[in-house]
Amino acid sequence: MKVTVKYFGIIAETAGKKEEILDVTQGMSASELKARQIKTYQIPEAESVQLAVNRDLNTEVELKEGDEVAFLPPFAGG
Amino acid sequence: MKVTVKYFGIIAETAGKKEEILDVTQGMSASELKARQIKTYQIPEAESVQLAVNRDLNTEVELKEGDEVAFLPPFAGG
Amino acid sequence: MDKKKPKKVFVQGAVPPEKIAQSIANHQSKTNIGAHSIFLGQIRADEVNGKTVSAIDYSAYEEMAEDVFHEIREAAFSEFDITCAHIYHSLGKVKTGELCLFVFTSSAHRKIAIDACNYFVEEIKAKVPIYGKEIFGDETHQWKKNS
Amino acid sequence: MDKKKPKKVFVQGAVPPEKIAQSIANHQSKTNIGAHSIFLGQIRADEVNGKTVSAIDYSAYEEMAEDVFHEIREAAFSEFDITCAHIYHSLGKVKTGELCLFVFTSSAHRKIAIDACNYFVEEIKAKVPIYGKEIFGDETHQWKKNS
């Protein structure tokens, strides 16, 4: 099952990429994906990272085919 | 003893003038002049009128030769 | 530092939007500023007993008003860590939809700029001897009262 | 009423002062407005370990950001009796002294315009996925953190 993963700000810099398509197992939750990618890319300050699934801040959902999952560092607008 | 009296806003309109030179008795206080002019011109809402003597809001002073006394309705800037 | 210099506040007629753009542009060389707060007063076409305000004709006890503006500036600079502050208020006729008051404060941090701007607006309304004759479409008038 | 129409918030590069003048001028036909409140964010030349910020390069999760801006607008219009509200935020590089954020609220009464403007500024900082790379004079950088 494929999901699109997007990285922003310092996370994109740390991962060395802005986007990738990942193959994940059926039934994987957003928070499991989060833990996996944080480990893969050694993303620092993991506790401050928020996930958006299909543009909604939410880590408790189970992922579905075609979902867009965004890794968001603390916001810094303005 | 002469003082310059200035009227502003609705008071100038009621008095029909913006300024006049008045002869006042030595030792007259600003509040006495206020009472006198309010009666002379039948200035309405007298309790809301403030006096400035030489640009300072103050009715407790004794007037001196050459003082500038302004009759100020409630402020309406902005 | 321009904070001590007494500044001319009154302008004849409405404050033009271009003056606001110019004031903002003048601050782009001050790179210690992180936030600007601006308040603009605009003339409303209020209805009173079926008549509509078409303009306000502002007058003031100008000499005292300039003194009070200066005192408000001094107090604001000692209370708030602002880098600059500018105030312009109309005299004479300002039509509905036009601007009669422009307050502009700048600081390194947003909360300071915003609090200082509010302080100026409230102080100006409360303490400066300015009067407004609200002129209706039929040339009658009433004197503006601040709420 | 323009309140329901989703609006484009992001602009490429700095917000020019002329855009602010134009926005203000566009409101002079709305004679139910009595007060405008404006907030502007400007890029500070902060010093960090002896290096000075020369620009911020903004990026965003644009699709989500536009959704969140729209939700903030909806919430603001239901909470505050404002006649209109406009927000512009930069993407890409904005140099020190230039403007990166322009929030503009209007109402019949000053307190409402001011409170709504503050609400927008705080909500934008807290809820919109925008990132800023602070670029130093020597081309190194660090990621901006909101205070």
Query: Could D64 and A75 be called an inter-chain contact, meaning their C-beta atoms sit closer than 8 Å?
Result: no
Query: Chains A and D: how many Cβ contacts under 8 Å?
Result: 63
What pTM value is reported for the model? 0.95
Q: Quick one: how many helices (H) and strands (E) in chain C? A: 3, 8
pLDDT at C124: 98
Q: Provide the chain C residues 14-33 that lie in CB contact (below 8 A) with chain D.
A: 17-18, 20-22, 24-25, 27-33
Instruction: ipTM value, please give it.
Output: 0.95
- CATH among 2.60.120.260, 1.10.4190.10, 3.90.1150.10, 3.90.1170.40 for D10-143: 3.90.1170.40
From the CB coordinates, do chains D and C have 3 or more pairs under 8 Å?
yes
Q: Where does the pLDDT of residue C1 fall: very low under 50, low under 70, confident under 90, or very high at 90 and above?
A: very low
Query: Could B78 and C124 be called an inter-chain contact, meaning their C-beta atoms sit closer than 8 Å?
Result: yes
B66 lies in a domain? yes
Tens of pLDDT, residues B49-72? 999 999 999 888 999 999 999 999
Going from N- to C-terminal start, the domains of chain D cover 10-143
DSSP H/E element including A47:
none
B54 lies in a domain? yes
Query: Could C125 and B78 be called an inter-chain contact, meaning their C-beta atoms sit closer than 8 Å?
Result: yes
pLDDT at A59: 80
Query: Could A78 and D126 be called an inter-chain contact, meaning their C-beta atoms sit closer than 8 Å?
Result: no
Domain range for B12: 2-72
A77 lies in a domain? no
Looking at the 3D structure of chain A, how many domains does it have? 1
Q: Provide the chain C residues 118-147 that lie in CB contact (below 8 A) with chain B.
A: 121, 124-133, 143-146
Interface test with D, best of C18, C26, C30, C40 (most D CBs within 10 A): C40
Q: Tell me whether D40 touches chain C (CB under 8 Å).
A: yes
Tens of pLDDT, residues A36-64? 999 999 999 999 999 999 999 988 899 99
pLDDT at C5: 59
pLDDT at D4: 52
DSSP H/E element including C53:
strand C51-60
Query: Could D124 and A6 be called an inter-chain contact, meaning their C-beta atoms sit closer than 8 Å?
Result: no
Query: Which chains sit next to A, with 3 or more Cβ pairs under 8 A?
Result: D
Whole-number percent of chain B with pLDDT over 70: 100
Instruction: Report how far residue C110's alpha carbon sits from residue C118's, in angstroms, rounded to the nearest whole number.
Output: 12
DSSP H/E element including D57:
strand D51-60
Question: D32 to chain C: nearest residue by CA?
Answer: C44
Interface test with C, best of D22, D23, D40, D124 (most C CBs within 10 A): D40
CATH number at B43 reads 3.10.20.30
User: In chain D, what residues touch A54 (CB-CB under 8 Å)?
Assistant: none
A52 lies in a domain? yes
Per the CB < 8 A criterion, the answer to whether C131 and C143 are in contact is: yes
Q: Please tell me the distance in Å from C70's CA to the nearest CA on chain D.
A: 23
DSSP H/E element including D2:
none
Whole-number percent of chain A with pLDDT over 70: 100
pLDDT at D85: 98
pLDDT at D1: 42
For chain D, 147 residues long, give each residue's pLDDT as a single digit of tens. Answer: 455 556 789 999 999 999 999 999 999 999 999 999 999 999 999 999 999 999 999 999 999 999 999 999 999 999 999 999 999 999 999 999 999 999 999 999 999 999 999 999 999 999 999 999 999 999 999 999 987
Q: Please tell me the distance in Å from C120's CA to the nearest CA on chain D.
A: 13
Q: Kindly list the distances between the CA atom of residue C112 and the CA atoms of A53, C61, C81, D39, in Å, as whole numbers in the listed order.
A: 37, 31, 7, 12
Comparing CB atoms, the residue among C64, C67, C131 nearest residue B76 is: C131
A78 lies in a domain? no
Comparing CB atoms, the residue among C61, C127, C146 nearest residue B6 is: C61
> Average of pLDDT values for B8-16?
98
Burial class (CB in 10 A: 0-12, 13-18, 19+), D50: exposed
Per-state percent for chain D, helix, strand, coil, to nearest 5 = 30, 40, 30
Q: Tell me whether C6 touches chain B (CB under 8 Å).
A: no
